[in-house]
Structure 1
Amino acid sequence: MSIRPHQIIVLEHQVNRLYAEAIDVVPARRLCWARPLLLVTGPSGEERDWLTPEAALELYPLQEGPDLLWPVDLFQPALDVEVLTLLGQAQALPPDSRRHQLSLQHLRHFIQQVWRAYPQLFAKQSSQSVNSPRSEKDLPNM
């Protein structure tokens, strides 16, 4: 399956899933511009059912998080039923500035985990003159 703009995609790593909207895809460089929507930490183990009420999911909404320009091979299309259920649960959470900061911290940690897990994908992109992933603290203040 190929990823298309405006499609909801998911990147699963360990017990985490990052749901994002594909903004654009650059086929020549195998990159996906993704806008994070929700980071979900789920149950561990072989048998994981992300949709059962007893799954004990932790939801981290990311509406104002940074966009990602990452290798398209990391993503796959998300299941509609799963996305609708999880986004509905996330919207039901009361607004909280501490939750927003916590969500961004979890996203930053997730990004670092993925970089460490797939260095060959990011190195390949760097060799094609694409900047290596950087954290927000490395960016200049504007």
Structure 2
Amino acid sequence: MTDKPSIVEFKTDRIVCIDRENLHLFAEVIDIIQISSRCWVKPLAIARSNPESFNLEFLHDLRDAAQLILPTDLFRDALDTEVLPLISELFYPTKDSIRSTNAQRVLYQFIADLYRLP
């Protein structure tokens, strides 16, 4: 999971992830801005990893949040074992899942915390 793909490996419509401690921002690649090594993405969700069960706990649906342009080196390819449950939860939510009432604020906080970390 620590291997970062080169800018050439990211393709449009691919699901990528930014990891921050035990939180994970999943997004869909819209385009790659090669001249500045940036990735234009549409946020999908934030999930938390559970080290005891190795599962992701779905936290926030970010499909209504603003799109982002961030450095490509922040992202990694999302694994199939992460994406399949995520997509299932987004389109067929369980009764106890939490839906963010302010996706933009949640996304802003995640990005702000990302840049505060050393």
TM range, normalised to the smaller chain?
A: 0.7 to 0.9
Of residues 33, 41, 45, the one that matches 1:34 is 41
1:49 matched residue in structure 2: 54
Work out whether 1:16 is the aligned partner of 2:23. yes
2:115 matched residue in structure 1: 115
- For the 8 Å contact 2:58–2:89, the answer to whether it is kept is no
Q: How does 1:70-81 map to 2 (within 5 A)?
A: 70-81=70-81
Report which of the two has the higher share of helix: 1
TM-score (norm 1): 0.66
Paired letter, 1:79: L
Paired letter, 2:54: D
- 5+ residue gaps, structure 2: none
Report which of the two has the higher share of strand: 2
Q: Secondary structure at the match of 1:88?
A: helix
Question: Mean Cα displacement is larger for which, 71-80 or 34-43?
Answer: 34-43
1:59 matched residue in structure 2: 59
- 5+ residue gaps, structure 1: 52-56, 119-142
TM-score (norm 2): 0.78
Question: Mean Cα displacement is larger for which, 75-84 or 63-72?
Answer: 75-84
Aligned-residue Cα RMSD (Å) equals 2.4
Q: Secondary structure at the match of 1:59?
A: strand
Paired letter, 1:81: T
Give the share of equivalent positions with the same residue, in percent: 28
